[in-house]
Amino acid sequence: MSRPPAARLRGEGRTQPPPHRVTALPSGLRVVTLEMPAMESVSLGIWIGTGGRYESPRLNGVSHFLEHLLFKGTDRRSARRLSQEIESVGGSLNGFTGEEYTCYMAKVLHRHLRRAANVLFDMYLHASLKAEDVEKERTVIREEINMYLDMPAQHVTDLFNAVLWPGQPLGRPLVGTAETVGAFTPDDLRAYRARHYLPKNTVVAAAGKVAHEELVRIVERLAPGGPGRPAPRSAPAADRQRRPALLLCDKKTEQTHLCVGVRGYRREHPDRYALHLLSIALGENMSSRLFQSVRERHGLAYAIGSSVIRYRDTGAFSVHAGVENNKFLRALRLILRELASVRDEGLRPAELARAKEYWTGQFAMEFEKTTRNMLGIGEGLLLTGRVLTKEEILSNIARVGLDDVRRVAADIFRERRLNLAAIGPAVGGTAAHDALHL
């Protein structure tokens, strides 16, 4: 007998001190570290709680554009000097933008922690955002947009998001469009930074050979002081779906690329572990159901897999594949058959056991890396206000039972919740719509 979902997760009433440490500065900026004394390196990141879902239609893509510009130089350092200061000591400098966060990160030998922090905070606080740099980067990002449009395996994901969240920020491309990117002004970028790049909306995370007190002292010296104002909040995601939805793009391609799936669970949903295990069993490795069925037994695809994404208040489960053009409908029906099967019959005990072993094994190996740990503690603290320990996560995985997975599959795999995006020749018409049922 399964326990109620709310009773399954651990993390409350902790008796052992966590391996990470958190300090909140008077400004509201938070510092979190995970010390790995055996390492020689440290990964450091500045996380800001803004991304694609915080943008208006006119500013679609501005978070990503701003991320690019912070690498173009500051009032104190040129773009070349920013990278040279890190690379000259064997380190790396990078950044990325998501729907709910932006992160600037560096990895260096531990003795160069202060140098890395100086560079990252200079970018965070003093990026020059010159008009000439805006124009140069506008051209670069337009080419990035064109590159994604020429990559159907990537573009189909954007189309799928547009079906899942029509007319909402989560349904717009993270990089923006040629039209929106072409209209940004330096004032737009400065105003967006001023609204969102705030101490209360920022987390500094480090993992590796790092002393928490040392990093706090460094951040106190570099970060702005005094109480800061809170950052704007994003609008909640709306779910008005009552019937299957699809978006088909007729394009001359060598393969038809499809993405089919349903809305899933929010970031902190009690059933998130059961859903992830379901995804692993269905399509996250070569022994999964979908890989064995669609690729190995029927030879319809080279690449096929499933994935789960989670946001603050919503999420999604999806299956993505590239198939022979004339076998698109057959592959789609096979995928939906597997989803219906697990909904109606659940997983076999051996499948759930393998999924747990796969996840815990992958998870344990990832925890050996400083960058992976920095990403985990930074994202966790920024978006949920807490960091689960490795032991808590592994315990939550272990507690998922067969009944939990079947209940989750029955909850999300409903015909009216189905969504499909596809790119390829002759994908239009009514045949795809007719096939979209469980």
Query: In the 8-state DSSP scheme, what is residue 250?
Result: E
Residue 76 tokens read as 């104190």
Active-site residue among 55, 67, 137, 351?
67
CA-CA distance, 261 to 283, in Å (whole number)? 12
CA-CA distance, 10 to 6, in Å (whole number)? 10
Alpha carbon separation from 337 to 153, 262, 278, 415, 436 (Å, rounded) = 22, 15, 15, 12, 10
Which phi and psi angles does 423 have, rounded to 5°? -130, 125
β-strand partners of 252: none
CB-CB contact of 65 with 176 (8 Å): yes
Helix (H) or strand (E) holding 297: none
CA-CA distance, 259 to 319, in Å (whole number)? 6
DSSP string computed for 132-189: HHHHHHHHHHHHHHHHHHT-HHHHHHHHHHHHHSTTSGGGS-TT--HHHHHH--HHHH
DSSP string computed for 64-89: HHHHHHTTSBBSS-BHHHHHHHHHTT
* Strand bridging mode 301-310 / 315-324: antiparallel
67 an active-site residue? Answer: yes
Point out the residues that are catalytic.
67
